[in-house]
Amino acid sequence: MSAGSEARRLVLKVGTSSLTYPNGKLNIRCIESLVRVISDLHNCGFEIVLVSSGAVGVGVSKLGLLARPADIRMKQAAAAVGQCELMHIYDKMFLEYGVTVAQVLLTRHNIAKAEHYANVEGSFEALLRMGVVPIVNENDVVSTEELDEIESFGDNDTLSAVVAQLCHADLLIIFTDIEGLYDANPRSDPNARLISRVDAIDDKLRAIAGGPGTAGGTGGMATKLSAAQLCMDSGISMLICKGDRAEVLYDIVEGKKVGTLFKKKEGLTHA
Ligand code: GLU
């Protein structure tokens, strides 16, 4: 059986490049199909947590800024504006299918102590039991990498792995702009081959994973590998796949071979 066909509780991470156009405006077609497929899977009995980026990108566009600001205060301001817009759209679209969503904004500080961790863990459990779809992002307004490397997750790949641990997910799915992890850079090497399954992350794989992917987001393959390591160490499988078609989620839950699967270590239970 594949990881997808066994999974009932899913965490899905969607990055800025899947949610917005390069000019920062919302890609309504993508968001609409994402919301439709998630709602359908939710109706079918899956419990789904969505980790959504896009706050800074959408804020930049809404404020009419020409580019992602380098200044921390401006970035925080853009995130505050963009997060609001993003949740407004999600709430409206999910409501069309009768699905209730919740906004969960996290910083590392919120889960640093055991009792804080348990508190957030309990909130996720309560939301999922009530059939709510939590939509998670880093609380970029108070937590910025530049201000505090210890407090900040820095990127939503890492955040999504932590969320998968917090809600004891069966599977973390990370949507990205390529099919998965390749044995060489597919953008420059035509012979690069997709790696369909990873059982252990070694130095060779780390060397293959390069820097950040696109200008709009922060994550690249390197942060995805760290996220995979976090998941695998906690007994959670992780899948990276191309997220331009939300319908790929159906293939995943039906157990079809998609993207790169980082298989959890057998015998481990969730952290
Ligand atoms: N939290 C950031 C945002 O919403 C994105 C971080 C990331 O994509 O890794 O803009």
Dihedral of CA atoms 8, 219, 133, 4 in degrees, nearest 10, equals: -10
C-beta atoms surrounding 88 within 10 Å? 10
Q: Which of 180, 210, 184 is nearest to 197 (CA)?
A: 180
* pLDDT, tens digit (0-9, with 9 covering 90-100), for 227-244: 999 999 999 999 999 999
* pLDDT, tens digit (0-9, with 9 covering 90-100), for 64-78: 998 889 898 999 999
Using 50, 70 and 90 to split pLDDT, how confident is the model at 220?
confident
Q: Is the CB of 216 under 6 A from ligand 1?
A: no
Residue 201 alpha carbon to ligand 1 centre in Å: 25
* pLDDT, tens digit (0-9, with 9 covering 90-100), for 141-156: 987 665 555 667 878 9
Q: Is the CB of 16 under 6 A from ligand 1?
A: yes
Residue 108 alpha carbon to ligand 1 centre in Å: 14
Answer yes or no: is pLDDT of 216 > 60. no
* pLDDT, tens digit (0-9, with 9 covering 90-100), for 112-124: 899 999 999 999 9
Q: Is the CB of 156 under 6 A from ligand 1?
A: yes
- Residue to substitute in 156, 162, 214 for testing ligand 1 pocket (most ligand atoms within 8 angstroms of CB): 156
pLDDT (0 to 100) of residue 218: 41
Q: Which of 165, 109, 97 is nearest to 139 (CA)?
A: 109
Percent of the chain beyond pLDDT 90? 69
Q: Tokens in use for 87?
A: 């949740």
Q: Tokens in use for 177?
A: 């702009």
Looking from the CA of residue 83, the nearest atom of ligand 1 is 4
Using 50, 70 and 90 to split pLDDT, how confident is the model at 17?
confident
Looking from the CA of residue 219, the nearest atom of ligand 1 is 9
159 contact partners, CB below 8 Å, separation of at least 6: 13, 51, 106, 136, 137, 138, 153
Q: Is the CB of 139 under 6 A from ligand 1?
A: no
Q: Tokens in use for 167?
A: 């809600």
pLDDT (0 to 100) of residue 1: 47
Mean pLDDT: which of 67-71, 103-107, 218-222 is highest? 103-107
Query: DSSP class of residue 269?
Result: P
Q: What is the rounded distance in angstroms from the CA atom of residue 81 to the CA atom of residue 50?
A: 20
Residue 98 alpha carbon to ligand 1 centre in Å: 27
* pLDDT, tens digit (0-9, with 9 covering 90-100), for 159-185: 999 999 999 999 999 999 889 999 888
pLDDT (0 to 100) of residue 110: 87
88 contact partners, CB below 8 Å, separation of at least 6: none
pLDDT (0 to 100) of residue 4: 63
Q: Is the CB of 154 under 6 A from ligand 1?
A: no
129 contact partners, CB below 8 Å, separation of at least 6: none
Q: Which of 156, 46, 50 is nearest to 94 (CA)?
A: 50
Task: Kindly state which CATH superfamily the domain 3-251 is placed in.
Answer: Acetylglutamate kinase-like (3.40.1160.10)
Using 50, 70 and 90 to split pLDDT, how confident is the model at 204?
confident
pLDDT (0 to 100) of residue 87: 97
What are the E-state strand segments in the chain?
Answer: 9-14, 47-52, 101-106, 133-138, 171-176, 197-198, 237-242, 260-262
The pTM assigned to this predicted structure is 0.91
Query: Domain locations in the chain?
Result: 3-251
Least confident of 29-38, 109-118, 182-191: 182-191
Residue 267 alpha carbon to ligand 1 centre in Å: 33
